[in-house]
Amino acid sequence: MFVCIRHFHSGKPDHESQGSDTDWAPSLHLEHTQVKATTPEVAGVDSISAAVILNDHDYCLSPSDGERSLDCQSPDSVPSEFVYTKENEGPEEKMKRYQWERRRENWVSKPLFQPSHDPPEHLLKCSADHCPGTSKAKENIPVPKKANDEPHQSHRQLQAEYGYLRQELDALQAENQMLKEELEKSKFSYANVKCNARQLLFFTGFTSVIFHWLLTKINDSVERISQKLGQEDHLLVVLMKLRLGLNNTDLAYRFNESTATISDICRSWIPTMAIILRPLIKWPSREAIRRNMPDIFDPNFTKCRCIMDFAEISIARPSNLTARAQTWSTYKHNNTIKYLITFTPAGAISFLSPGWGGQVSDRQITYDSGFLGRLEPRDQIIAERVFQIRSELAAQGATFRIPHFARRKKQLSAHELETSRQLSRVRIHVERVLGRWKDFKILQSVIPLSQVDMLDDVVVLCSALTNLCKSVVPKSKQ
Model confidence at 464, pLDDT cuts 50, 70, 90, reads very high
Asked if 267 contacts 224 with a C-beta cutoff of 8 angstroms, the reply is no
Q: Is beta strand 328-329 parallel, antiparallel or unpaired with respect to 334-343?
A: antiparallel
- Which helix (H) or strand (E) segment holds residue 343: the answer is strand 334-343
- Decide: pTM greater than 0.75: no
**How confident is the model over 141-163, as a mean pLDDT?**
77
List, in order, residues 6 or more apart from 411 with CB less than 8 Å away: none
How far apart (Å, rounded) are the C-alpha atoms in residues 35 and 14? Answer: 16
Average pLDDT over residues 160-174: 92
- How confident is the model over 66-98, as pLDDT tens digits? 455 555 555 555 555 544 455 556 777 777 777
Integer-rounded Cα Rg, in Å, for the chain is 57
- Enumerate the H helices of 26-90 as residue ranges: 40-43
282-468: CATH class: alpha beta
pLDDT of 323 higher than 70 = yes
Whole-number Å distance between alpha carbons of 58 and 75: 13
Q: What is the pLDDT of residues 262-289, one digit of tens each?
A: 999 999 999 999 999 999 999 999 889 8
Q: Which residues face 335 on adjacent strands? A: 328
Q: How far apart are the two ends of the chain, measured CA to CA in Å?
A: 135
d(CA 71, CA 85): 15
Domain edges within the chain: 1-141, 143-186, 190-278, 282-468
What pLDDT score does 58 carry? 42
Q: What is the pLDDT of residues 201-242, one digit of tens each?
A: 999 988 899 999 999 999 999 989 988 888 999 999 999 999
- Judge residue 151's burial from the number of C-beta atoms within 10 Å of its C-beta, 0-12 exposed, 13-18 middle, 19 or more buried: exposed
Alpha helices in 227-299, H assignment, sequence order: 231-244, 248-254, 259-277, 286-291
Amino acid letter for position 241:
K
d(CA 438, CA 451): 18
Q: Does position 139 have pLDDT exceeding 60, yes or no?
A: no
pLDDT tens digit string along 101-113? 777 776 655 554 4
Instruction: Spell out the residues 6+ positions from residue 192 whose beta carbon is closer than 8 angstroms to its own.
Output: 185, 186
Residue 337: φ, ψ to 5°: -115, 130
75 preceded by cis ω (within 30°)? Answer: no
Cα–Cα distance measured from residue 235 to residue 270, given in angstroms and rounded to the nearest whole number: 10
Rounded mean pLDDT, 152-174:
89
Q: What angle do CA 54, 60, 65 make, to 5 degrees?
A: 140
Beta bridge pairs of residue 310? 340
Specify burial of residue 254 (Cβ count, 10 A radius: 0-12, 13-18, 19+): middle
